[in-house]
Amino acid sequence: MRRKLVAGNWKMNGDSAFVSAFSSAIAPNIQALPEGIDVLIAAPTILLPQLCQEFALTRVLVAAQNVSSYASGAYTGETSAEMLSKAGCDACLVGHSERRALFGDTDEVMLSKVRRLLEVEIQPIFCIGETLEQRDLGQASNVVTSQLALLLDNLSSEALGKIAVAYEPVWAIGTGRTASPEQAQAMHERIRDHVRQKDAELAEKMVLLYGGSVNADNSSELFAQPDIDGGLVGGASLQADNFAQICKSIECR
Ligand code: PEP
């Protein structure tokens, strides 16, 4: 049975007081979840040490939203994977559509980021997804599988087994317009089939998340789909009560 994962992405929100209030509100809810469900929060870099400290004795995992593609050295403004590891991070987003669109993260850069993270045993959460224009042109499957091919073509099955993939249609991120459970399941099935062509065992164990306007009203139906193993939740992860509800809506199958 695959583990379930609900990941919150705070994007560029939060401060120290918010971290304290959020952690005390969420931790008891998460402790009560059945074994087999992981919960993590991806926060801005400056909040990560505090978040790691607040969640140290809880089941909540901590993720960064970005990492340098370089290991160390003269890269002003960057944060290395080793620094994240020493701060206590468990995971890190790579390839979020906002990074692809606004910060020019290319395939080469994203692959290097994934490699740097794997070197220090931080789990990459690799985000893929098509734009509305690509979907309307009937290109959604091809776009998503070619984004995934970056990993499948360049990493071993062993390395791939350490990565979670988040399918996030760009048209559903922050728009309030979520993919229907059927649309999301169809793409997740397609993604898993694509991984199966490389390695059947890997396909069965790879954790696939859905992201895009997930909230407490739509999460149970999305998470009930057979190939959806959890979610990447942006806006709704900023309210502890809502996020706790979303985490509770996932069931172990
Ligand atoms: C995200 O930031 O990855 C995301 C899915 O955002 P939202 O849930 O707000 O659409």
- In this prediction, residue 88 carries a pLDDT of 97
Number of alpha carbons in the 13 Å side-chain half-sphere of residue 165: 31
Q: Which residues contact 33 (CB under 8 A, 6 or more apart)?
A: 39, 59, 247, 248
| C-alpha of residue 14 to centroid of ligand 1, in Å | 15
pLDDT exceeds cutoff 80 at 253: no
Could you tell me the CA-to-CA distances from 127 to 62, 103, 144, 175 in Å, in that order? 17, 15, 10, 17
Rg (CA), the chain: 17
Indicate whether residue 235 lines ligand 1 (CB < 6 A).
Answer: yes
| C-alpha of residue 1 to centroid of ligand 1, in Å | 26
The pLDDT of 154-161, averaged and rounded, is: 98
Atom of ligand 1 nearest to the CA of 178: 10
Q: Where are the domains of the chain?
A: 4-252
- In this prediction, residue 237 carries a pLDDT of 98
Topology classification of domain 4-252: TIM Barrel (3.20.20)
CA-closest residue to ligand 1 atom 1:
234
Indicate whether residue 213 lines ligand 1 (CB < 6 A).
Answer: yes
pLDDT exceeds cutoff 70 at 252: no
% pLDDT > 70, the chain:
99
- In this prediction, residue 251 carries a pLDDT of 81
49 backbone dihedrals φ, ψ, rounded to 5°? -60, -40
Rounded to an integer, what distance in angstroms lies between the CA atom of residue 93 and that of residue 229? 17
Angle subtended at Cα 79 by Cα 76 and Cα 81, rounded to the nearest 5 degrees: 140
Q: What is the pLDDT of residues 205-238, one digit of tens each?
A: 999 999 999 999 999 999 999 999 999 999 999 9
Atom of ligand 1 nearest to the CA of 214: 8
